[in-house]
Amino acid sequence: MFVALLGAAVLGYAIGLIPVAYILMKLTSGKDIRKEGTGNIGAMNMYEVTGKRWIGILTFLLDAIKGVATVLLAQLLFGHWFLATAVAGVACVAGHNYNVLLGGKGGRGLATATGVFAIVNPFMIVLWDIMYLTGFYVIRRDVRVASMVATLGSGVLIFSTPERVLRLTTLLPEVYSVTELKLFAAATLFLIFVRFVGPMREFMGEEHEKHYSDDAE
């Protein structure tokens, strides 16, 4: 069992290591995305650095495909064993977020997690999107704030969702325990949460400077 789960983790992490943004940036401009913009190896930084929406969208889609491929391969290799699939999915997001091939740098995991959730339970994506829109339009029109609200809020909503709803929206027939499903979601969201701690600190610093400047005036 342990060896199989280790294999699932290695599979997911290896797929997560594929640096889509890094490759696309090198191919289109010869630049190193780690040294551009925020240094984040993901769709948002690609869009902000290049100013080209199609590159941002392409990066997001390809990163999401990593998550989809991981779940499908785990299903093929380990059959109807959700724990192995869950481990592979979480590891894929970890590989994307912490890429040892790029000095530990990576993205924030949103696109890759979207791909994983799309195959396991797309309702989780809906909950994340609802919380993102709430955070952006109700709390603060800042993508960092909205993303953090969405990550924390969707986690709370997933754990609060009735078991019947989670079962109806889960696409994998081998999910016998809703508790396992919730823990899988929590682990994935935790990886995203950690990657947004830095951006939130930047936001708080900007707000502090703005407040100080306003007081000085």
Most confident of 23-37, 112-126, 195-209: 112-126
Using CA atoms, how far apart are residues 208 and 156, in angstroms rounded to an integer?
29
Q: What is the mean pLDDT of residues 39-62?
A: 94
pLDDT at 204: 82
The pLDDT, as a whole number, for residue 4 is 92
Identify the residue with better confidence: 55 or 216: 55
Please tell me the predicted confidence (pLDDT) of residue 57: 96
**Cβ-count burial of 143 within 10 angstroms (0-12 exposed, 13-18 middle, 19+ buried)?**
middle
154-195 pLDDT tens trace: 999 999 999 999 999 999 988 888 999 999 999 999 999 999
Which of 84-88, 95-99, 110-114, 139-143 bottoms out in mean pLDDT, i.e. has the lowest? 139-143
Residue 216 has pLDDT above 60, yes or no: no
How far apart CA 94 and CA 70 sit, in angstroms, is: 12
Contacts of 78 (CB under 8 A, 6+ apart): 4, 8, 84, 85, 88
Q: What is the pTM of this model?
A: 0.92
Task: Tell me what pLDDT residue 207 has.
Answer: 67
The answer to whether residue 202 scores a pLDDT higher than 90 is no
212 pLDDT more than 60:
no
Positive/negative CA dihedral, 33, 116, 55, 53: negative
pLDDT given at position 205: 78
The stretch 53-62 carries a mean pLDDT of 96
The arithmetic mean of pLDDT across residues 71-80, rounded, is 94
Separation between Cα atoms, residue 39 and residue 91, nearest integer Å: 22
Compute the mean pLDDT over every residue in the chain, rounded to the nearest whole number.
93
Break the chain into its structural domains and give their ranges.
2-216
Do 88 and 12 form a contact (C-beta atoms < 8 A)? yes
What's the rounded mean pLDDT across residues 23-40?
92
Q: Tell me what pLDDT residue 35 has.
A: 92
- Res. 203 pLDDT band, cuts 50 70 90: confident
